[in-house]
Amino acid sequence: MLHFHKQCPDSDQGNAEELLLQLLLFVDQRSSSEEQVQEIKAYLHSLRSDYAFKLDVVEIEKQPHLVEFFRLVATPALVKMSPAPRQTLAGSNLIQQLEKWWPQWKEAKTSSESSSKTIENSPATIMPTGDYDVQGLMLSDEIFSLRQEKAELEAQLRFKDKILAMLAHDLRTPLTAASMAVETIQLSEKNEDLSANKLLALKRKLFRQARNQFNIMDNMIGELLQNSQNNHAKLAVKPKPLNLCSLCQDIASQFDAKLGRKSMNFVMDVPQDLPLIYADAELIRQLISNLLDNAIKYTPEKGSISLSVLHRTNQKVQVSICDTGPGIPTAKREQIFEDNFRLQRDRAAQGYGLGLATCQQIVSAHYGQIWVDSAPESGSCFRFTLLVYK
């Protein structure tokens, strides 16, 4: 729920109260934002001599659903709730934007006050002038939260129904393969036609096969448990200043063996002078690792994979993981981020189609965006944005 703290005189109730300029200031917990937020508050305080207004501060970490509700793309952000129409200002030059819009807001409010004098001053005839009055916004907040909770519960039920069926199907294949390898080892010991050297070589080969299948099952169960947890609770994000360059180098080194087995060409373009980002290190590690693992999985031998980072604006960086695999059909680019969605080509492969849904959850929890640029037979580039820490 929003909690409104009145920061203007208590006088002039009634119609004047309804016609107050109502502002919401959205802020985050980055230390670099504190100075900018204080400057904005000080500037607004200096404007209070023009006319009274109400200012409420909303911390996005405590009410992330309001970020989506107002479709905010950057912080700090200032939302003018009333008089109508509602308007959002955001970005590092917020004070300059205020200087431009303040005279127009004042003129609009003055016009509204003049019009209101013709309305009979009684409770039955007083009407709110904004898209949302205070009570309306609070009610919208509650409704929006309830709708999100309902959607999450429905997703959990669908997840349980599908996962039980897929668990029996997907685990059967590696379990059967591992069992056959163990049985073949037992039978080979009774084969008198095999020499000692050939028997030893055969056992080693079968042991490797069995071990690989057990690893596949272990990874599948781990993925199941991880995504089951993500479906039943919101991600516990613990953001802090993070060196993305060092993290990318560390992650890339862990994929050396996989890249080598398929003789792939791997290119990493991550500038050393990147600004720190504000993110949860373990979640970002999971995000990049998941996308790299998918790129390796779907790219043929001797293909190319790249990991690059671009400092897009003073508030965001963009990470891209590209491959030379089969690509994503245009009609499916939005669906691939849905829970349990799988492309037709992937139906026979191990997994639950949960990886990209988890990636989207992680990016959304960091107030970023994720998308894919792709075309059939032309490879794919998965891109996402993260907030800069300043």
Side-by-side strand order, sheet with 265-269: 265-269, 304-310, 316-323, 380-387, 370-374
- Domain containing 155 — which CATH number? 1.10.287
pLDDT tens digit string along 123-150?
Answer: 332 233 333 444 566 666 678 778 878 8
- Domain containing 311 — which CATH number? 3.30.565.10
The pLDDT-based confidence of 350 (bands split at 50, 70, 90) is very low
Stated pTM of the model: 0.47
- pLDDT, mean of residues 267-272: 94
- pLDDT, mean of residues 297-315: 90
Q: CA distances (Å), 329 to each of 82, 323, 332, 350, in order?
A: 44, 15, 5, 21
Number of structural domains found in the chain: 3
- Domain containing 52 — which CATH number? 3.40.30.10
pLDDT of residue 16: 41
Range of the domain at 202: 149-232
pLDDT tens digit string along 16-63?
Answer: 444 578 888 888 887 777 888 888 888 888 887 767 788 888 888 877
* 66-71 own/partner pairs: CB under 8 Å, 24+ apart: 66/2, 66/26, 66/141, 66/144, 67/26, 67/367, 69/140, 69/141, 69/144, 70/26
- pLDDT, mean of residues 275-281: 92
pLDDT tens digit string along 221-269?
Answer: 765 665 555 555 456 788 999 999 999 998 998 888 889 889 999 999 9
Domain termination site, one of 176, 208, 232: 232
Considering the domain architecture, whether residues 194 and 279 belong to the same structural domain is answered as no
Considering the domain architecture, whether residues 213 and 251 belong to the same structural domain is answered as no
CA distance 262 to 337: 27
Considering the domain architecture, whether residues 254 and 315 belong to the same structural domain is answered as yes
Helix (H, G, I), strand (E, B) or coil at 370: strand
Residue 2 falls inside a structural domain: no
Considering the domain architecture, whether residues 265 and 363 belong to the same structural domain is answered as yes
Mean pLDDT of the chain: 75
For 251, phi then psi, to 5°, come to -65, -45
Considering the domain architecture, whether residues 47 and 112 belong to the same structural domain is answered as yes
Residue 1 falls inside a structural domain: no
